[in-house]
Each structure stands twice: as C-alpha cells, then as structure tokens.
Chain A
C-alpha cells in the first residue's frame, strides 16, 4: 500500500528556509493531489497547501507567500520550502495524499517530521 515518509533538518535557524522532502512509496504520485499540513501546540492542525502531480499549486494565504511546493514524478518526491521562518513555524510537518480532489480529506499521511526553529 502507499506510504509516505517526510525527511529534512530537524532544526532551522530563524530567518532561514525550511526544506522538507516527502517520498511516496508503494504507489504512484499520479494522478493525485498532495498536501502539506503542520501541527503545533499553539495553532493546531494547519493546511499549508496542495500540489497536483502536474505541478499546479494552491497555498494557504496565511503563509503570505513564504511557501513553495514542488513535485518530481520521476522520483516520487514532493518538496516543501518555507522561507523566513520564525519560532511560530516550529511544528510537526506532515505530507498527505488528498483522497481525490484539490480540496478533500487526506486519506494517507506520512508519519510526520518535527521541525524546530531556533538559533
């Protein structure tokens, strides 16, 4: 069955760029929408945006242009970049598969990766 695994640095300095990768195994990236979601004690679960296998994206306006998502269908990889991070970006970051639609439930989740923003 499809599994997802996030990876990336666990510690990022303030003002720098957070970069994470999500590897999809056991299935294809096509033809799904894929989302990034984060969870912090202060803000709960927050949807960051989605990317379609063809590269279309929609981002949460709350991130104010700091987020970029990309996809590599040949490697079954998703990527997330979040620039100008602050302590408020400290969270567990998840990649997840949308069930079918751009705005949908998330039927498969990665295990999540904790990212701490601190100097």
Chain B
C-alpha cells in the first residue's frame, strides 16, 4: 500500500498569510493521481484538488496544488477565516486508495 505522510501535523497561521502543506508518498503516485480534501468539524471531507493541480468544482483560486511522483504540495495563497480546518491528501493511483493522516490549519 502507498503510505502518505503529511507535514506539518499542525500549522498555525494568521488570516492573510500563505499556507504550505506537504504530502509525501512512499512510492510514486501513478499519473499524479493525488487529491486534497478539506474537513471541518462534524462535516464530511470536501474535495479541493485532484490530479495534483486541478481545482475541484467551486474551489477558489487561492487554493493551488503542485508536485509529482512522491512529493506534493497544497498552497493557500492568502488564508481566509473559513479555511481553518483539517486537510487530507489522498492517492487514487491504484488499489487500495489511501489517505494521509491530515494537517490541521489553526488560527495563530
């Protein structure tokens, strides 16, 4: 199975700052099939990015994704108050699909 390791575990930022979240895979993710999700308390995860760099429907352009192979990054250019949440990466390059353990973005 591909294990995804996210860092940092917690990121403390103020609104308006830039957020950089990392996701590293134990082996290359086929076709860069790497997605990012946002989850708020009591809610299901919401897709943000797929194919490493493509925004899901309705996602604002302050969210961007990059990377290939084993190293991927989610960037929020200027964090808005509604962006404080937990973020997960997911690889879907093959079976079984796996998720990272999450990065918590909290208000500094």
Contact = CB atoms under 8 A, between A and B. Distances in A.
A119 interface: no
Contacts of A56: none
Given A99-B50, A103-B33, A103-B92, A109 B99 contact: no
Given A109-B44, A111-B44, A112-B44, A103 B95 contact: yes
B96 A61 contact: yes
B45 A45 contact: yes
B97 A44 contact: no
Contacts of A46: 99
Nearest to A94: B44
B90 interface: yes
B96 A110 contact: no
Contact of B99 (A47, A101, A103): A47
Nearest to B49: A105
Interface in B45-99: 45-47, 50, 56-57, 88, 90, 92-99
Contact of B47 (A35, A101, A105): A105
A96 B46 CA distance: 11
Secondary structure call for the B interface: loop
A86 to B, nearest CB: 20
A101 B94 CA distance: 11
A88 to B, nearest CB: 17
B47 A60 contact: no
B28 interface: no
In the complex, the 10 A-B pairs of residues with the closest C-beta atoms, listed nearest first: A109-B44, A45-B99, A47-B97, A105-B35, A60-B96, A105-B50, A103-B92, A44-B101, A105-B47, A104-B92
Given A103-B94, A107-B56, 12 more contacts: A35-B97, A44-B101, A45-B45, A46-B99, A47-B98, A60-B96, A99-B47, A103-B33, A105-B56, A105-B90, A109-B44, A109-B46
17 contacts: A44-B101, A45-B45, A45-B90, A45-B99, A60-B97, A62-B1, A62-B96, A94-B44, A99-B50, A101-B92, A103-B33, A105-B50, A105-B90, A106-B45, A106-B47, A107-B56, A109-B44
